[in-house]
Amino acid sequence: MSLGILGKKVGMTRVFDAEAGCMIPVTVVDVNGNELLQVKTTETDGYSAIQVAYDDQKERRVNLPERTHQAKQGATGAKKLIKEFRFDNDADLPSKEEGHPGAAL
């Protein structure tokens, strides 16, 4: 099972660890706007996966087939990035209550 979350790098900063007495470089990532687009099951698609959409975009910059797919799945606006994360079996997929298509992650 592989599960991920999509985001955009905002910048770098540092955090001070008082116990060790050293600075730790950290990356700041914006993950707002992740949306569950589609749940794929072995019965309907032949494999188990979820599609996650991220980052709003102008409607005219997304091609028509992609726009139609997003509209059918209930996406809120046109999305720039869509990634698919596969699961080993259907039992690992989120249930309808946990994450229905169009739900924010």
Using CA of residue 7, residue 10, residue 12, residue 17, what is the dihedral sign? negative
Domains along the sequence of the chain with CATH: 32-92 (3.30.160.810)
Contact, 38 vs 64, CB < 8 A?
A: no
8-39 pLDDT, tens per residue?
A: 999 999 999 999 999 999 999 998 888 888 88
Write down the pTM of the prediction: 0.72
Q: What is the mean pLDDT of the chain?
A: 85
Average pLDDT rounded to a whole number, residues 70-86 = 88
Phi, psi of 43 (to 5 degrees): -70, -40
